[in-house]
Every structure is written in structure tokens, then in C-alpha cells.
Amino acid sequence: MGNIVDLVQSQVIASVKHQDDIDMATHSNANIVFLLTGDLMTTKNYLERLKKYKKTTFVHIDFIDGLSNTRSAIKYIAEEWKPQGIITTKSNLIKFAKEEGLMTIQRIFLIDRNAMKKGIEIAHSCKPDAIEVLPGIMPTIIDKLTKLTHLPIIAGGLVSTKTEIDCGLEAGALAISSGNPKLWNLDL
């Protein structure tokens, strides 16, 4: 399966929040796509479209309508949809996904120092392949996180300019996820 560091070719990850943006993601420079839209009926089709264009796709299962937070839901995703991996805020789902051979990204919301400390503790206990931190426009915090964990850091949320992407990467993030299609074609 490899590791997430080896998967990253473009350091901008296309974070697709709307069905209408899937085609833009397929034609973008981003080789990794975070899928944050869909439901039980549409997600497999979205994944197949993205795979056709050689996009490595992670499904953010907290956003897929109709999924439950169960082992059987993860098993279904692994066997039927076959994404590269999942993104979730729920550590038990990270564990289930790893058991099914999926790569995992733990999403953490950095609302204060306590949330940062707790998020790192949880990530170290469930051992995802990477941590996605939101909001992603805090270079000093990204720098601190890279010193607190050996896990790769992906920064996302509120990122809207190339300068913000550059600052996050300079602070030590592996990649930056952005929902802004205008940023998906940067040559990074």
C-alpha cells in the first residue's frame, strides 16, 4: 500500500465539496482528491470517475450521506467503493479502516491548545497515515505540530491563496487541501 508521503506528487490536494467540482478535480494538477460529497447512491460513481483520471482518492466518510459509523460501513466502502483511503474525525473508524486495508487520515479541528493536544494524543493512539488539521492557515501551529508528531500533517480549511499554501508548506505541512478549484492547478 505504501505511505502517504510517497503518494503526494502535487502538494495541493483537491478537496471536492460539490458534485459540480468533480470534473475540475479530474482535470487538475492535484493527484490526490479528498471527496467530501456524495451519498450511498452516488459516491461509487464519483470514485470511478476520479480513478479513470488516475486520481488517488480519499473519501471523507463523515460527509457521505447515508453512512453509519460502523465496522460494516467501512467494510462496504473497502470492498465496494475501493478508495485509497478514508478521512474521518472518529478514531474508531480509523481502526476499522486500517483493518480493511484502507489508508487513513484523522481530521482534527484546532480550536484551542487543548484540542491540539487531545487531537495529537488520539492520533498517536489510533495511528492514522496522516493528520489533516483545520484551519490550515496557521503556519506557527503547523510548525509546532510537526514537532509533536512523526505523522505527516496535511493542512486544510480556510485556505484561499497561493501565499497561504506556501506558508503552510514552509511550516512543514506535507500538503495543503483546498476546496478552491482555482488552487488545484498550482505547480507545487
DSSP assignment, residue 63?
G
Walk along the chain (188 residues) and give the pLDDT tens digit of each residue: 579 999 999 999 999 999 999 999 999 999 999 999 999 999 999 999 999 999 999 999 999 999 999 999 999 999 999 999 999 999 999 999 999 999 999 999 999 999 999 999 999 999 999 999 999 999 999 999 999 999 999 999 999 999 999 999 999 999 999 999 999 999 88
CB neighbour burial string for 37-73, b if at least 16 within 10 angstroms, e if fewer: bbeeeebeebbeebbeeebbbbbbbebbeebeeeeeb
- Supply the pLDDT for residue 188: 85
- Supply the pLDDT for residue 117: 94
Q: Which of 50, 62, 57 is nearest to 134 (CA)?
A: 62
- Distance between CA atoms of residues 81 and 124, nearest Å: 27
- Supply the pLDDT for residue 1: 57
Domains detected in the chain: 4-183 (3.20.20.70)
